[in-house]
Amino acid sequence: MSRGKLETRETPTHTRERILAATWRLMETRHGQGVRMEDVAHAACVSRQAVYLHFASRAELLVATVRYVDETLRLNERLEEVYAAPRGVDALEAYVAFWGHYIPDIYGLAKALLAVRATDGAAAAAWEDRMAGMRAGCRAIIECLERQGALAPGWSVDDAAAAFWALLSIAVWEDLTITCGWTLEQYVRHMREVLTRTFVSEG
Contact 148, 92 (CB under 8 A): no
Q: What does the pLDDT read at residue 34?
A: 84
Quick one: average pLDDT of 11-15? 83
Phi, psi of 30 (to 5 degrees): -100, 5
Contact 196, 93 (CB under 8 A): yes
Whole-model pTM over 0.85:
yes
Would the pLDDT of 25 be above 70?
yes
Q: What does the pLDDT read at residue 183?
A: 97
Distance CA(26)–CA(28), nearest Å, equals 5
Instruction: Give SS3 for 200.
Output: strand
- Banded model confidence at residue 202, pLDDT cuts 50, 70, 90: confident
Instruction: Give SS3 for 151.
Output: strand
- The answer for residues whose C-beta is within 8 angstroms of residue 112's C-beta and 6 or more apart is 27, 28, 30, 31, 32, 123
In CATH, what class is 3-56?
mainly alpha
Residues composing the chain: 203
- The answer for residues whose C-beta is within 8 angstroms of residue 131's C-beta and 6 or more apart is 165
State the fold for domain 74-199: Tetracycline Repressor; domain 2 (1.10.357)
Would the pLDDT of 4 be above 60?
no
- Report pLDDT digits (tens) over 59-110: 999 999 999 999 999 999 999 999 999 999 999 999 999 999 999 999 999 9
Would the pLDDT of 8 be above 60?
no
- Banded model confidence at residue 203, pLDDT cuts 50, 70, 90: low
Residue type for position 151 = L
Beta-ladder partners of 151: 200
Distance CA(4)–CA(47), nearest Å, equals 8
Residue-range domain boundaries for the chain: 3-56, 74-199
